[in-house]
Structure 1
Amino acid sequence: GFRINTNVASLNAQNNANLNSRALDSSLSRLSSGLRINSAADDASGMAIADSLRSQANTLGQAINNGNDALGILQTADKAMDEQLKILDTIKVKATQAAQDGQSTKTRNMLQADINRLMEELDNIANTTAFNGKQLLSGGFTNQSFQIGAQSNQTIQASIGATQSSKIGVTRFETGSMSHSSGVAQLTIKNYNGIDDFKFQPVVISSSVGTGMGALAEEINRVADVTGVRANFLVQTTGAGSIKADKTSQDFTINGVKIGEVEYKDGDENGALISAINSVKDTTGVEASKDANGRLVLNSRDGRGIEITGNMGVGSGVLKDDYKNFGRLSLVKNDGKDILISGSGLSFIGMGAGDMISQASVSLRESKGNIDTHVADAMGFNAYKGGGKMVITFSSIEAFMSSNGSGMSAGSGFSIGSGKEMSKIYNSGNLALVTVFSNAFGFSAKNDGSSQFAAFAGTASIAAKDQQAGVTTLKGAMAVMDIAETAITNLDQIRADLGAVQNQITRTLNNISVTQVNIKSAESNIRDVDFAAESANFAKFNILAQSGSYAMSQANAVQQNVMRLLQ
């Protein structure tokens, strides 16, 4: 019907126009902001989810930055260590250059000076390499954490070992006593990998070809890549003093090869003794020479023992107790840890229960200083005492006990020098003193196992003497080669660990980068507006706004028809 007080059609048109106006405002807001959700009222649950996703994506973005910082730190350290490795390569090359007797003392000193400078630069790199003020190679960069995840404690840890010369290259040297007896030895390296033992084949220790310390060293070195232990030997007999005029006996023999009577002069100036011995060196395996002090040196070229029968003459300087010499075995391990051995016949290689094994762990820095007695003996320097026995001969023990200045009485016990390193053995009229480092004895002696009358003296030593620094000796150059190789291995291990961490970080960054993209995509699906759909909605609402205005005008015009009824 016709109503005047209430224009229902107009009210409906107004209501629809208001609704359309709000929808049009919302559509314009979305189109102008690009967001589907501009307020919590737009989509309460959607907004909560989108906010959570946005927080996660932003956190992952910072985690990516953290990871890139970590990569920067590790790459800085890696490049610095690459330079250190080049330095170590040069040190090893120079040590190798010094490890041949074509070098003079002067040239070896020059090579050592170069090595000292190289070590200084190596330490300089270790002490100055830093990132944002944090030292990287000095040993303080340990268990460092990098947050690489959206949630707390999602970290990657990294450590960089110290690379100073005092911390790398620590190499273990162990050398047994000089062996003076032959037999069969079977050696076992215990816990070579922390768990297992390695048992070597039995080796005959004798003066025959294919036996001796050389054969044992060959057996050990055959599997050095498995056990980590390498061996070298020294089978060398040195006269106690310079050669004096004398002659050998007619039955003078070395390693079963008869040489016979040889008359030689002071210093063997006519070369008779040395020439006679060397004339059969290819058969005996023993080569003779003189050292800088004019002493006779007999050296086994292949590591078999040196057995002398007959008589070389007192003038040769070779003592009777040294007529049988099977040498010393030296073991080297590149991790600085003790070399644990067991087995049978160890006394034949100077490593039995009653033998003194010299041991030392030496770092790269220590190798450039003077090599003290203890280290020299462990490295296998040719020494007169070498952990063997020095026998002081009196007519009887009683004569020694009653000797002026002995300070002892029959049956008394005693200690000498620096504590535990000394002990005593009584052998049927001889007093035997056993030591590892005999400097502290303070009296003179000729050789391991030698017999002589000895009085207490203040200066002479039966120990291996201190040696000059680093590569200034042949044996020292060999040791520096070992130490440099260990240092290279140490740095390679540190770099390998860094490389593994870098790869781990890179893989993590790849993963969280993809995760971040997917999370942002999920947030966009919820929060961002679909312009195509919203443009269509806007067009619809815009048309409805126009049609709504027309509808309201028509609804108001309908009331005018009532006036016609009143006319």
Structure 2
Amino acid sequence: MAMVINSNIMSLNAQRNLTLSQNELNTSMERLTSGKRINSAADDAAGLSISNRMTSQVRGLNQAIRNANDGASLIQTAEGALDESTNILQRMRELSIQSANGTYDSGNRGTLNAEVKQLVSELDRIAETTSFNGLNILDGSLGKVDLQVGSEANQTIELSIQAMDSRTLGLGSTSVDIVGGENSLVADTTAINNNDIMINGQSIMAVGETWTGGTDDMDELIDKINTNVNGVTASTIASATSTDVGDGILAEGETFKVDVKKLDGTTTSVEVTDTENMDQLVDKLNAEGGGLISASVGDDGKLTITAENVESLTFTDGGSGPNGAGGTLAATTASIALSSDDGAEVTIERGTTGTLSDLESFGFRESNEAGVIEGEAVDANAFAVGDLKINGVDVGVSETGGLIDKVAAINDISDETGVTASVFSGVEIDTSTATGAWAAGDFTINGEVITSGADLDALVTAINGVKDSTGVTATLSGQNLLLEGDVSQIAFGDASGTADNGAALTAILGGGVTVADAAGGIKLSSDNGNPISVDHKNAAAEAKSGLLDANSAGGGSFGAAISSLDISTAAGAQKAIGIIDNALEQINSTRGDLGAVSNRLDFTVNNLSNVSENVAAARSRIEDADFAAESAALSRAQVLQQAGTAMLAQANAAPQQVLSLLQ
């Protein structure tokens, strides 16, 4: 090997290896001091990218855990306040039951009512002041809350708490016994006089009183019913349900307005704006309505707005969605509702001077016994799908438009509805064409002997006295005598019972009277005596059945809120019990929902913790330093450094050996 001095290859090699061992020493020290295997992208570019994504996930999961715990804290705050609201309502119910007792006078009830009013104020105070992190959670302003419980976008749990104040609690149920269809009293200028309409056998107009539609206000009519009819309270209920599903969105400048025409003829508007979904729309309508209206969304997503003691509702929907914010809502006229003060049956029928048209203007068909509805003439169109519901059950398609087939279609679902249908018809006798004088005497209807009496009024009374046996009811409209029943089953005879096709009766009436079959209709009878609910798809469907919409329900007061409670009377106390029960049910339902979400959040936190732990472990395997391995690498690098330094010194000294050749 040549001996040179210009190039010290051994030194260069030693320097290179010393540099490598220096780098290894630096890397080992960096990892041991930081605890990480990856301290820069140069250490592991792919590993750095993966670990950063995992870091984002872990930190997101940990924040989601905190979010879920915050949500649970909000729920616990709300639930605690609702527990106190429940205690208040229980006390109010206790006071209402006490006030309903007949052993108390007005002074006692006034004292009980004073406590109820204070409890109502406290209920409102709780709703208005209960807050979490500056958010009021029971006054209806909270709306829908999305709890971010995941590390990625839109991984949320929805939470909603409606208003729990006295203006909202109690809304949405009914305690009436009979609710008619939409009435036309104002529109058709109907005049109602004494003995035109009878409720529980009592005329709604006293002698000499008249109420005229289009001239007199609806509140005057309701007042007259409540004054003249004992044991029954009259009110009105207006309800409209959208035909389409709205999106609930009202952007800036868009409004949803409900114009409420009250019974005294004045109009109040409830207007809301700036909503992002149907829940917010409903909450704002209920809050702004202040107990005047009640808004809700059914399982089908359609909006229903109701009001009590109003004449009509009209709607203006400014939403820009395809179906508007609330869906398509048509203006509606209120129905008259009748509720029993003592739980007895409520009946409505024509008086001696009333007509079916008078009843129809009220929105009723005649119901002179519990659980019975009689219709009028039907058209020739068959029932189609969705035309008619009885007690909430759809009536199927009828084979033809005839009465027999329509009755059969209704009876096909009797097991589900508890209602039996029959053909309803009769005989109409015009006595104004009589050619002779009244001739009192006896005759028979379906085998029952009837004594005519001295005039038409006495005859009607006599026929109705045996209606349970004959199945025939008599009414008088002017000079027209209407005998109602199944015309095919009405058999007339003389005093001895011999069939004479009505000759004995016409002789009593003076002879020469005009006899004709009355138009046929459908009669519905409840199998258990309960009220019957009838709902039609539209006016055309109503004409097919000859029935009017009629609904009945119990448990609370439709549209009545806790704020309206007044137990200063026994009747008010009875009504309050139902309202409070409905309010308790609302709170129970809300607390149940909150409890379910709280349990869900517990499971969410457990799952998030598990995922966070496993992702953190995976990240650790990628980026954390193995101290055992790094300590060994450090020792190796230190030894190499020491050896390299010594060898570099030897290599640098090697050229000195050339001097020995020059000596």
**TM-score, with length taken from structure 2:** 0.44
Q: Is residue 147 of structure 1 aligned with residue 148 of structure 2?
A: yes
1:344-372, Cα deviation, whole Å (9 max, x unpaired): xxxxxxxxxxxxxxxxxxx9979xxxx98
Question: For the Cα contact (< 8 Å) 2:58–2:612, is it kept in 1?
Answer: yes
Match of 2:121 in 1: 120
Instruction: Give the 3-state SS of the residue equivalent to 1:157 in structure 2.
Output: strand
Q: Is residue 61 of structure 1 aligned with residue 72 of structure 2?
A: no
Match of 1:103 in 2: 104
In the superposition, relative to structure 1, how do residues 53 and 429 fare at CA in structure 2: closer, same or farther (>3 Å)? same
Which of 624, 641, 644 aligns to 1:548? It is 644
Match of 1:489 in 2: 585
Q: Is residue 532 of structure 1 aligned with residue 591 of structure 2?
A: no
One-letter amino acid matched to 1:149 = G
Query: Structure 2: how far apart are the matches of 1:385 and 1:147?
Result: 54
The alpha carbon displacement at 1:388 in A equals 4.6
Q: Is residue 379 of structure 1 aligned with residue 339 of structure 2?
A: yes
Query: Structure 1: how far apart are the matches of 2:336 and 2:77?
Result: 38
Question: For the Cα contact (< 8 Å) 1:24–1:538, is it kept in 2?
Answer: yes
One-letter amino acid matched to 1:539 = S
Instruction: Give the 3-state SS of the residue equivalent to 2:628 in structure 1.
Output: helix
In the superposition, relative to structure 1, how do residues 18 and 518 fare at CA in structure 2: closer, same or farther (>3 Å)? same
One-letter amino acid matched to 2:104 = Q
Pairwise mapping of residues 393-432 of structure 1 onto structure 2 (< 5 A)?
Answer: 420=362, 426-427=476-477
Match of 1:3 in 2: 3
Match of 1:36 in 2: 37
Query: Structure 1: how far apart are the matches of 2:351 and 2:290?
Result: 34
The alpha carbon displacement at 1:91 in A equals 0.8
Question: For the Cα contact (< 8 Å) 1:176–1:328, is it kept in 2?
Answer: no
Match of 2:438 in 1: none
In the superposition, relative to structure 1, how do residues 58 and 511 fare at CA in structure 2: closer, same or farther (>3 Å)? same
One-letter amino acid matched to 2:637 = F
Match of 1:174 in 2: 176
Query: Structure 2: how far apart are the matches of 1:41 and 1:384?
Result: 89
Match of 2:20 in 1: 19
Question: For the Cα contact (< 8 Å) 1:415–1:423, is it kept in 2?
Answer: no
One-letter amino acid matched to 2:109 = R
Query: Structure 2: how far apart are the matches of 1:23 and 1:113?
Result: 87
Instruction: Give the 3-state SS of the residue equivalent to 1:471 in structure 2.
Output: coil
Name which of structure 1's ranges 79-88 and 527-536 shifts more when overlaid on structure 2.
527-536
Instruction: Give the 3-state SS of the residue equivalent to 1:173 in structure 2.
Output: coil
The alpha carbon displacement at 1:428 in A equals 6.3
1:145-169, Cα deviation, whole Å (9 max, x unpaired): 1222111111111111221223222
Q: Over the residues paired in the alignment, what is the CA RMSD in angstroms? A: 4.5
One-letter amino acid matched to 2:341 = F
One-letter amino acid matched to 1:551 = M
The alpha carbon displacement at 1:492 in A equals 0.5
Instruction: Give the 3-state SS of the residue equivalent to 1:379 in structure 2.
Output: strand
In the superposition, relative to structure 1, how do residues 337 and 502 fare at CA in structure 2: closer, same or farther (>3 Å)? farther
In the superposition, relative to structure 1, how do residues 547 and 385 fare at CA in structure 2: closer, same or farther (>3 Å)? closer
Query: Structure 1: how far apart are the matches of 2:604 and 2:357?
Result: 69
Alignment size in residue pairs: 338
Q: Which has the larger radius of gyration?
A: 1
Query: Structure 2: how far apart are the matches of 1:51 and 1:536?
Result: 28
One-letter amino acid matched to 2:569 = T
Question: For the Cα contact (< 8 Å) 1:63–1:150, is it kept in 2?
Answer: yes
In the superposition, relative to structure 1, how do residues 14 and 35 fare at CA in structure 2: closer, same or farther (>3 Å)? same
In the superposition, relative to structure 1, how do residues 492 and 364 fare at CA in structure 2: closer, same or farther (>3 Å)? farther
In the superposition, relative to structure 1, how do residues 117 and 365 fare at CA in structure 2: closer, same or farther (>3 Å)? farther
Match of 1:291 in 2: none
Query: Structure 2: how far apart are the matches of 1:430 and 1:70?
Result: 72
Instruction: Give the 3-state SS of the residue equivalent to 1:158 in structure 2.
Output: strand
In the superposition, relative to structure 1, how do residues 384 and 472 fare at CA in structure 2: closer, same or farther (>3 Å)? farther
In the superposition, relative to structure 1, how do residues 540 and 385 fare at CA in structure 2: closer, same or farther (>3 Å)? closer
1:515-538, Cα deviation, whole Å (9 max, x unpaired): 222222222222222222212211
Question: For the Cα contact (< 8 Å) 1:59–1:149, is it kept in 2?
Answer: yes
The alpha carbon displacement at 1:328 in A equals 9.2
The alpha carbon displacement at 1:108 in A equals 1.6
Question: For the Cα contact (< 8 Å) 1:138–1:164, is it kept in 2?
Answer: yes
1:6-45, Cα deviation, whole Å (9 max, x unpaired): 3332222111111111111222222222222221111111
Question: For the Cα contact (< 8 Å) 1:176–1:387, is it kept in 2?
Answer: no
Match of 1:520 in 2: 616
Question: For the Cα contact (< 8 Å) 2:353–2:478, is it kept in 1?
Answer: no
Instruction: Give the 3-state SS of the residue equivalent to 2:3 in structure 1.
Output: coil
**TM-score, with length taken from structure 1:** 0.51
Query: Structure 2: how far apart are the matches of 1:55 and 1:14?
Result: 43
The alpha carbon displacement at 1:389 in A equals 4.6
In the superposition, relative to structure 1, how do residues 429 and 507 fare at CA in structure 2: closer, same or farther (>3 Å)? same
Query: Structure 2: how far apart are the matches of 1:110 and 1:376?
Result: 33
Moved over 6 A (4+): 327-330, 363-366, 371-377, 383-386, 413-416, 421-425
Instruction: Give the 3-state SS of the residue equivalent to 2:175 in structure 1.
Output: strand
In the superposition, relative to structure 1, how do residues 430 and 377 fare at CA in structure 2: closer, same or farther (>3 Å)? farther
1:35-74, Cα deviation, whole Å (9 max, x unpaired): 2222111111111111111122222232223223322322
- Structure 1's unaligned 5+ residue stretches are 178-234, 238-326, 331-335, 339-362, 398-412, 433-467
Question: For the Cα contact (< 8 Å) 2:25–2:637, is it kept in 1?
Answer: yes
The alpha carbon displacement at 1:121 in A equals 1.4
Pairwise mapping of residues 457-472 of structure 1 onto structure 2 (< 5 A)?
Answer: 470-472=566-568
In the superposition, relative to structure 1, how do residues 543 and 491 fare at CA in structure 2: closer, same or farther (>3 Å)? same
Question: For the Cα contact (< 8 Å) 2:178–2:339, is it kept in 1?
Answer: no
Match of 1:509 in 2: 605
Pairwise mapping of residues 447-458 of structure 1 onto structure 2 (< 5 A)?
Answer: none
Instruction: Give the 3-state SS of the residue equivalent to 1:472 in structure 2.
Output: coil
Pairwise mapping of residues 438-449 of structure 1 onto structure 2 (< 5 A)?
Answer: none
One-letter amino acid matched to 2:28 = S
One-letter amino acid matched to 2:25 = L
One-letter amino acid matched to 1:532 = A
Question: For the Cα contact (< 8 Å) 1:391–1:431, is it kept in 2?
Answer: no
Identity %, equivalent residues: 34
Question: For the Cα contact (< 8 Å) 1:144–1:158, is it kept in 2?
Answer: yes
Q: Is residue 160 of structure 1 aligned with residue 157 of structure 2?
A: no
In the superposition, relative to structure 1, how do residues 498 and 490 fare at CA in structure 2: closer, same or farther (>3 Å)? same
Instruction: Give the 3-state SS of the residue equivalent to 2:176 in structure 1.
Output: strand
1:544-564, Cα deviation, whole Å (9 max, x unpaired): 111111112223344444444
In the superposition, relative to structure 1, how do residues 109 and 431 fare at CA in structure 2: closer, same or farther (>3 Å)? farther
In the superposition, relative to structure 1, how do residues 471 and 132 fare at CA in structure 2: closer, same or farther (>3 Å)? same
Match of 1:474 in 2: 570
1:414-456, Cα deviation, whole Å (9 max, x unpaired): 989x974699974466999xxxxxxxxxxxxxxxxxxxxxxxx
Pairwise mapping of residues 63-462 of structure 1 onto structure 2 (< 5 A)?
Answer: 63-170=64-171, 171-176=173-178, 378-381=338-341, 387-391=348-352, 420=362, 426-427=476-477
The alpha carbon displacement at 1:139 in A equals 2.5
Instruction: Give the 3-state SS of the residue equivalent to 1:42 in structure 2.
Output: coil
Question: For the Cα contact (< 8 Å) 2:131–2:137, is it kept in 1?
Answer: yes
Q: Which has the higher strand share?
A: 2
